[in-house]
Structure 1
């Protein structure tokens, strides 16, 4: 029987996000070369996944597949297969569901994060979504579905129950908080997700879960998730502060901080190959 300590903890790095600019922090990695350098440092610090965002010429959020390919090639040259590359499909108020799905079809990434609210909005074309999910399954793409609030779980469960999203168990990302000025997530924010009646009644719905959090308590939220059997996404996308309040010199400092916490909690840190297995859904 698999126990708590038998499941390695995934530390995913989110090095830049869609909104911050170098003006916000000089060490924010934006270019493919900068992302590759950061990937190497984070891999050495204990990360097994990189959550990848790319930018346009003005520094704005982009889902351009050419830019993705350039950044992915630089990262692969830097770390080989030692990091699973997960691209974002985040809308940021720019892209609709059709454009998000088109990006994934064109790029065929190893892994992608998909927000249920964005890829499957109420009143959206569920036939298109079903065809898209079937494509991801055939292409062996690892989707991680993002839930921005506990109420998103019911929508996700309904899509799975009706076969729009085919399969049984899926990797989920729980978002603790919002992109607001001064946002500080708390470990208690996990409770709404973990105590959801839907999850309690349908435990097979979730193969594993990860969290991301905003502000100076990001590491505390990550440690709460690790202690409860989950995984953590950490990085400058949502937080730049170390636990002592100082600004981290790079994303690797945040990953190293979390890695030491994982060891104290009695779990091993996942390798990229372990992360690949854990993040493959039960299609």
Structure 2
């Protein structure tokens, strides 16, 4: 299954245009579902297009998506850098309502970040699912040393050039998976930038859930710019998985 990641931390004005407002996110989500995505991951924005953890911005984005695509599961980000401190992050997340009251169905928590356990606990206490983001083997060890592998909705194996150790994306993902061992939660693997398509193809061939969208890459496998998120999803769904090829072009922000 394919999750669509609609915007990430890409700046407004990037090409192709990223969805920013609740209406744009809702239309992008609907297009991705029509193309074959089973859920979406978004970074809600404020009125100036900046990422936000403020409750009304999160609820506005999630509500708009649900109104246009009822029943779609919506994940949001809690990444470092959206707010200035871990304490501020936790204060915002603790205010989020549960899904029945307009909050997200789940949220990703990067396990290498300070305060990850507290953020995950606050989400769970509010009835919001936790997606554990694992970027490195070191973060994997920290994750499996707790009881959280039995409490998360999904484990995300996320490999990022320059951050995740490895000579290529698939090798990096395999190292994390080896450190995870047997895990009770569903697994989703994905790469970013030049690792996006090779890891997606490898993940599909291995039977894992995968992710694609403008957060991860702006390019199609042949190196041309994608028109939008739905085109990335469509190509991921329609193309047969095979042996991962080398990424044709760099993907700067």
Say yes or no: TM over 0.5.
yes
**After superposition, where does 1:72-221 map in structure 2 within 5 Å?**
72-81=62-71, 83-92=72-81, 94-107=83-96, 108=98, 109-118=104-113, 120=115, 129=118, 133=121, 136-137=123-124, 139-160=126-147, 165=148, 167=150, 171-178=154-161, 186-196=169-179, 199-200=180-181, 203=182, 205-221=183-199
Q: Which protein has greater RCO, CA pairs closer than 8 Å, 6+ apart?
A: 1
CA RMSD of aligned residues (A): 2.6
Structure 1 residues 185 and 41: CA distance shift in structure 2, 3 A: farther
Q: Deviation per CA, 1:149-201, whole angstroms, max 9, x where unpaired?
A: 111111111222xxxx4846752111211478xxx9632221211222xx33x
Given that residues 192 and 216 in structure 2 are in contact (C-alpha distance below 8 angstroms), is that contact kept between their aligned partners in structure 1? yes
Give the Cα separation in 1 of the matches to 2:161 and 2:22.
Answer: 27
**Residues 100-157 of structure 1: per-residue CA shift (max 9 Å, x gap):** 3333332233111111122546xxxx7xx39x62x54454321001111111111111
Q: Distance in 2 between matches of 1:166 and 1:177?
A: 22
Match of 1:12 in 2: 3
Q: Work out whether residues 175 and 212 of structure 1, in 8 Å CA contact, stay in contact via their aligned partners in 2.
A: yes
- 1:23 deviates by 2.5
| Partner Cα distance (2:114, 2:3) in 1 | 22
Report how far residue 221 of structure 1 moved.
0.9
Cα distance between partner residues in 2 of 1:52 and 1:68: 9
* Other structure's SS at 2:47 match: coil
* TM-score between the two structures when normalised by the length of structure 1: 0.73
Which ranges of structure 1 fall in alignment gaps of 5 or more residues? 1-8, 266-283
Q: Tell me the distance in 1 between the aligned counterparts of 2:46 and 2:12.
A: 14
Superposition deviation, residue 53 in structure 1: 0.6
In structure 2, distance between residues paired with 1:35 and 1:140: 23
Residue 47 of structure 1 deviates from its aligned partner by 0.8
Alignment of 1:213-252 (within 5 A): 213-252=191-230
Q: Is the 8 A contact 2:76 2:106 kept in 1?
A: yes
- CA distance in structure 2 between the aligned counterparts of 1:167 and 1:210, rounded to whole angstroms: 16
Gaps (5+ residues) in structure 2?
99-103, 243-253
Number of aligned positions between the proteins: 233
